[in-house]
Amino acid sequence: MQTGEPAGAAPADIELDKLEWREALEDILACYGTQGVQEILASLGNWCAEQQLPVRVGNVSTPYLNSIPISQQADYPGDLELEQRLENILRWNAMAMVLQGQDAGTGVGGHIATYASAATLMEVGFNHFFR
């Protein structure tokens, strides 16, 4: 492992270090399971925070991680096909009202994209929360 030369380390040396770290994590996984790997990674994350090193793991850019694995998630509580059809009808209706307002020359109009975003939020709210 290279010390004292992080910026000047050769790419091959870094690749070798990464390979060694992966092998070490595989050994920890084999001996201690996922809990062992999580503890090691949490410890490394804490060390990085103490050193004020910005760390980004994979595509995760927020502290939120879904704690329920996909295999354990409940089935969707609604009818996806029906809800998509209803949302499309609501969007079509909004577009028709905006165009009708503009055609009448009243200056009434709007941004369809704004309504399209709100339609999704309202659909989820009405069908899943405001019951």
Contact 119, 91 (CB under 8 A): yes
| Residue range of the domain that includes 102 | 80-129
96 in a structural domain: yes
Inter-residue contact 95 to 81 (CB < 8 Å): no
Residue 48 token pair: 């990085």
* Tokens at 128, concatenated: 């899943």
Is 6 domain-assigned? no
| pLDDT score, position 55 | 75
On whether both 16 and 57 belong to a single domain, the answer is yes
Residue 93, in any domain of the structure = yes
CB distance 80 to 128 below 8 Å: no
Looking at the structure, tell me whether residues 57 and 87 fall in a common domain: no
Q: How many domains does the chain have?
A: 2
Query: Which is more confident, 119 or 41?
Result: 41
Q: Give the up-direction half-sphere exposure of residue 123: CA atoms within 13 A in the CB hemisphere.
A: 20
pLDDT in tens, 35-71: 999 999 889 888 888 888 877 766 555 667 777 888 8
User: What are 30's two structure tokens?
Assistant: 């084999």
Average pLDDT over residues 85-111: 75
69 within a domain of the structure (yes/no): no
Question: For residue 14, how many C-alpha atoms fall within 13 Å in the half-sphere facing its CB?
Answer: 7
Residues 93 and 124 in one domain: yes
